[in-house]
Amino acid sequence: MRISGKTKVCGLIGNPVEHSLSPCFQNAAFQHLGLDYVYVVFTVKKEHLHSAVQGMRSFGIRGLNVTMPHKIDVIKYLDELDKTAESIGSVNTILNKNGRLIGYTTDGMGALKALKYHGTDPSGKKIVVLGAGGASRSVSFALAKEARELVVLNRTLKRAENLVNNLSCMSENAAETRAGKLDDENVKKELEDADILVNATPVGMRPNTDVTPVNPSLLHPSLTVFDLVYNPLETRLLSEAKKKGAKTVNGLTMLVFQGAISFEIWTGVEPPIKVMMDAALRELKER
């Protein structure tokens, strides 16, 4: 990769960010297409978020991804939000358009594309989402536009109810939505006729790889099980789902697709998905 005086800079802000896979697959894509861009990471503490966004404008940084804990707080420092980011109240991508900072969210669309990439179309399906945090919010907003029925289960029922109330206000949503408490009884009842299960909780993430958010006996062969966790690549939930004959989708696919959408926002160029996926897989295996 050749860095010049004309090289456009993109990157990631958050805390922590040292573990991020984004630099490996974004830079692989830039290099593959011969684009004069580079992607780097910036550790930004909460108290420095405003100055970091001002720095993006001052330095002419072309684009940023935004990760925890800044996805909500960053909004007040931007000039404009696209419709989806405004509806969800979360931003994970910023475009610097001639000094005007525009916020987007690509997480939900990344999840939708990941499912379709693995041959699962959520249109007209019953989907059960575990968790009601930030990841669940973005994914649920995207899937509710496609699904027949969307159920959000969370250990704190009030959070699930708040998310479902927000979903119900969106006129373009096709799904019938409802909330429930995340416990074995509700999971068993909802999974009996479910088509897709989405784990939007951190349960099963490294180093706690021996745990799963769902009793394996409740899984069945007609399910697609989508785990947003990508480290490890195959969580215990996905491993148990495979044993039951269910189709599985790992979180790395979503990570790459949400990054690919950001790539296109910044460059205006169609992203090389296979190049990005291969680079992310190589990096994860090396770690």
Please enumerate in sequence order all residues whose Cβ is within 8 A of that of 253, keeping only pairs 6 or more positions apart, or say none: 114, 117, 118, 277
Separation between Cα atoms, residue 283 and residue 268, nearest integer Å: 26
Q: Tell me, what's the pLDDT at 270?
A: 98
pLDDT band at residue 174 using 50, 70 and 90 as cut-offs: confident
Q: Tell me, what's the pLDDT at 61?
A: 98
Residue 272 has pLDDT above 70, yes or no: yes
pTM: 0.92
pLDDT band at residue 2 using 50, 70 and 90 as cut-offs: confident
Quick count: other Cβ atoms within 10 Å of Cβ 25?
28
Average confidence (pLDDT) over 211-232: 96
Average confidence (pLDDT) over 171-197: 93
Average confidence (pLDDT) over 112-133: 96
Residue 262 has pLDDT above 90, yes or no: yes
Q: Tell me, what's the pLDDT at 287?
A: 80
Q: Tell me, what's the pLDDT at 171?
A: 65
Separation between Cα atoms, residue 1 and residue 196, nearest integer Å: 41
Lowest-pLDDT range, 66-70, 168-172, 187-191, 212-216? 168-172
Please enumerate in sequence order all residues whose Cβ is within 8 A of that of 58, keeping only pairs 6 or more positions apart, or say none: none
Q: What is the pLDDT of residues 10-58, one digit of tens each?
A: 999 999 999 999 999 999 999 999 999 999 999 999 999 999 999 999 9
Average confidence (pLDDT) over 91-119: 96
Q: Tell me, what's the pLDDT at 175?
A: 87
Q: What is the pLDDT of residues 205-221, one digit of tens each?
A: 989 999 999 999 999 99
Burial class for 108, CB neighbours closer than 10 Å (0-12, 13-18, 19+): buried
pLDDT band at residue 134 using 50, 70 and 90 as cut-offs: confident
Instruction: Give catalytic residues, as residue numbers.
Output: 71
CATH fold match for the domains 8-105+253-286 and 108-249: yes
pLDDT band at residue 286 using 50, 70 and 90 as cut-offs: confident
Domain spans of the chain, in order of start: 8-105+253-286, 108-249
Average confidence (pLDDT) over 65-92: 94
User: Of 3.40.50.10860, 3.30.930.10, 1.10.20.140, 3.40.50.720, which CATH number belongs to 8-105+253-286?
Assistant: 3.40.50.10860
Average confidence (pLDDT) over 78-105: 95
Q: Tell me, what's the pLDDT at 170?
A: 77
Q: Tell me, what's the pLDDT at 76?
A: 97
Separation between Cα atoms, residue 60 and residue 62, nearest integer Å: 6
User: Of 3.40.50.20, 3.90.1300.10, 3.20.20.70, 3.40.50.720, which CATH number belongs to 108-249?
Assistant: 3.40.50.720
pLDDT band at residue 75 using 50, 70 and 90 as cut-offs: very high
Q: Tell me, what's the pLDDT at 36?
A: 97
Q: Tell me, what's the pLDDT at 135?
A: 86
What value, to the nearest 5°, has the Cα angle with vertex 105 and ends 7 and 127?
Answer: 140
